[in-house]
Structure 1
């Protein structure tokens, strides 16, 4: 079955993952029902003792003999490079094939796809061979709720580099949900104690743009049709656009089974010490939060904000766009360039704060008031960036001054 590339000579690439093997298998079953002729390429990745050169195993089912014969079974190296070679070989052996790539839970799907879709120098990009279908994720609700609370154990995920990156289980679980276009919430067969409905409400806030299906709803075949067509969620530039730290904030309005989202924005830089002091008022009921900050002590750096469970990570994640820096503007995603133009300030450019908080029984007024009190007041703002560098910063430390700058 091929529904979306007719006349253009391209195949279709669907991607499936899941937070348990059973949940992932359920989505694969649905895709094979919707597209019986699809070739399923299952991937497993295992690091060596040093964590540097992973073993990548692939197993193909479905399709035809030409497609399966084009694949080797085991290789060592960068998983994205190996899978890219596999997909290229399949496309050359049988153009316009529908391939379903099944990823294990130790692969961070969105960075992996961005690296997969990147065009290596001198090589034919995969976008010449395939259109991307929506990314489908199977979710076991019990495992999801357990992992989102787990910050004392780490998961080592492969993404855009050969080495596995350590993340908390909570962060890994949140990223998997946020990458999805379609989620199938699996019923484990236990008596319904409200966990399914509660999980569905949480998923709707973690990823407001995704379609969430309860196990059994997929019997309506029209709900499966999007999985066999090119995904409208992919920008023309590919998956990398969704990784930009400056992206539109997606917030689901309303409260569902106690779960709510709070969006906080400000066009003033944050005082880092007051931000640190605000955290006990802001974070207790938060399950997940994402965004970016303009911190006074690091005025040229975009500071990414990510929390999952009780773990909060602040990290320098690139630089703000500057008016004369044409190279940075060209390198930025189209969405970011559009957002920068909308929000541009003649003095401070695109600099701003934007965070979405998701949790149960969130006190929106308390969250907003605590963060509003953490931005610079008029007197502090008037001091300018040179004086902001002297502010105490218990979160990020003191920025390195330019040796040529005035003291």
Structure 2
């Protein structure tokens, strides 16, 4: 179960999929590439009364004698915070094995990126997981037919576990998009009845939804060595801590060009948005968009970052913390190194790091029309000159009027 001989730590990877079969195929390929890997299969069952969920684990593979020393404990169910339970399991494995390679097989109702951030967080008085493990790439198995259906599904809710011990409600489309965006490697399944054109179209869409990930097209006669990247730590996957990757102000990477009709459009502006005009622009902006995400500088909430996420025909705007302010030493220290660097890069003497930045992905997007519609929604020179107190009194059909406080 050993990993890279250059480190004294083990290796921890996450595997999930948009169907059980897609996830299972990634596990098969990974175990071919790393036969000694220990797979810890996880299931999380919500409690209808709102109490802590029930977490079941099953250990498979690995070296038999070492697995026997902790396998019985891992095959028992437990009630509690899933991240806390799995963290304790990983501690147990690290004490029993030398440089173990552990693969967490996560179910569809676990939001991989925030779950990993919660898992990687060090409780007071405990040894960090980073002392025992390096992170391997997160791998996601993708069934093409299910992918396209899920990205259109906004009328059903998916209850997923991530940051917190209780499930959050997302649309099926949002949950599907987040799963893809958490990946560093995506394995696109092939099979009977799936023509090359459809699969290539899905590959193009995956490449735009997550340009940083490697997309591997799988076939039934594929072999493990094609995914040897999953069996070792790589600095490309570890440039930011798991929690830092969730920062809403982190730049969204955009893939350039058009691939099988799929394109991504980046819109940026250093002026605050007029919420009423933004609402009026949405029918011109959103019709062909499959996925969009980013952050806004809204005139009515000048001190608050507004996160923007859409999947399918569902758009969500949420308050997501505050902008960094000159002289707020505590906030600057709490921010990630990447956030501090970006703030310094975009800093304006009067408005600080405030800006709008959204990436839109879809088929046959009209980039000029989309950008023009959003450019028309920012404050004009005269409105900008009226100042913050005037902005907060603008009509806001999207977020409503802010609660009384420092912003008005």
Asked if the contact 2:3/2:100 (under 8 Å) is kept, the reply is no
**Structure-to-structure mapping, 1:183-194, within 5 angstroms:** 183-192=186-195, 194=197
Equivalent pairs counted in the alignment come to 404
Paired residue for 1:375? Answer: 378
- Cα distance in 2 between the residues matched to 1:209 and 1:191: 25
Paired residue for 1:112? Answer: 115
Q: Structure 1 length normalisation: TM-score?
A: 0.96
Match of 1:327 among 327, 330, 340: 330
* Structure 1 spans left out of the alignment, 5+ residues: none
Match of 1:205 among 181, 203, 208: 208
- Cα distance in 2 between the residues matched to 1:334 and 1:286: 32
Paired residue for 1:389? Answer: 392
Match of 2:284 among 278, 281, 303: 281
Paired residue for 1:231? Answer: 234
Post-superposition Cα deviations, 1:253-297, rounded to whole Å, max 9, x if no partner, equal 111111000000000000000000000000000000000000000
Asked if the contact 1:133/1:231 (under 8 Å) is kept, the reply is yes
- Cα distance in 2 between the residues matched to 1:131 and 1:112: 16
Kindly state the Cα deviation for residue 160 of structure 1 after the two structures are TM-superposed. Answer: 1.2
Kindly state the Cα deviation for residue 191 of structure 1 after the two structures are TM-superposed. Answer: 4.2
- SS of corresponding position for 1:14: strand
Match of 2:217 among 214, 231, 234: 214
1:300 aligns with 2:303: yes
- SS of corresponding position for 1:40: strand
Asked if the contact 1:151/1:169 (under 8 Å) is kept, the reply is yes
- Cα distance in 1 between the residues matched to 2:19 and 2:109: 11
Paired residue for 2:69? Answer: 69
Mean Cα deviation higher: 179-188 or 227-236: 227-236
Distance 1:237 1:195, change over 3 A: closer
- SS of corresponding position for 2:59: strand
Paired residue for 1:124? Answer: 127
1:42 aligns with 2:41: yes
Paired residue for 1:353? Answer: 356
Post-superposition Cα deviations, 1:329-362, rounded to whole Å, max 9, x if no partner, equal 1111111111111000000000000000000011
- Cα distance in 1 between the residues matched to 2:245 and 2:254: 16
Post-superposition Cα deviations, 1:218-268, rounded to whole Å, max 9, x if no partner, equal 947653221111132444652111100011221001111110000000000
Kindly state the Cα deviation for residue 55 of structure 1 after the two structures are TM-superposed. Answer: 0.7
- Cα distance in 1 between the residues matched to 2:223 and 2:69: 35
Asked if the contact 1:52/1:162 (under 8 Å) is kept, the reply is no
Post-superposition Cα deviations, 1:172-224, rounded to whole Å, max 9, x if no partner, equal 00000000000000114214162211110000000001000111399476532
1:90 aligns with 2:89: no
Post-superposition Cα deviations, 1:65-97, rounded to whole Å, max 9, x if no partner, equal 333432332101110000000000000011201
- Cα distance in 1 between the residues matched to 2:239 and 2:151: 32
- Cα distance in 2 between the residues matched to 1:218 and 1:296: 56
Paired residue for 1:400? Answer: 403
1:139 aligns with 2:138: no
- SS of corresponding position for 1:346: coil
- Cα distance in 2 between the residues matched to 1:134 and 1:193: 27
Q: Structure 2 length normalisation: TM-score?
A: 0.96
Distance 1:193 1:9, change over 3 A: closer
Post-superposition Cα deviations, 1:341-399, rounded to whole Å, max 9, x if no partner, equal 10000000000000000000111111000000000000000000011011110001112
- Cα distance in 1 between the residues matched to 2:330 and 2:386: 30
Asked if the contact 2:32/2:224 (under 8 Å) is kept, the reply is no
* Structure 2 spans left out of the alignment, 5+ residues: none
C-alpha root-mean-square deviation of aligned residues, in Å?
Answer: 1.6
Asked if the contact 1:235/1:241 (under 8 Å) is kept, the reply is no
